[in-house]
Amino acid sequence: MASSADENIFSQRQRLLLIKVKSIKRLSVDKNESLLTFMQNNIL
HEC per residue, the chain: CCCHHHHHHHHHHHHHHHHHHHHHHHHCCCHHHHHHHHHHHHCC
Q: What is the pLDDT of residue 38?
A: 75
Number of domain units in the chain = 1
Q: How many CA atoms lie within 13 A of 15 on its CB side?
A: 6
Q: Report the C-alpha gap between 13 and 8 in whole angstroms.
A: 9
Model-wide pTM > 0.75: no
Q: What is the span of the domain harbouring residue 21?
A: 4-42
pLDDT at 8 over 70: yes
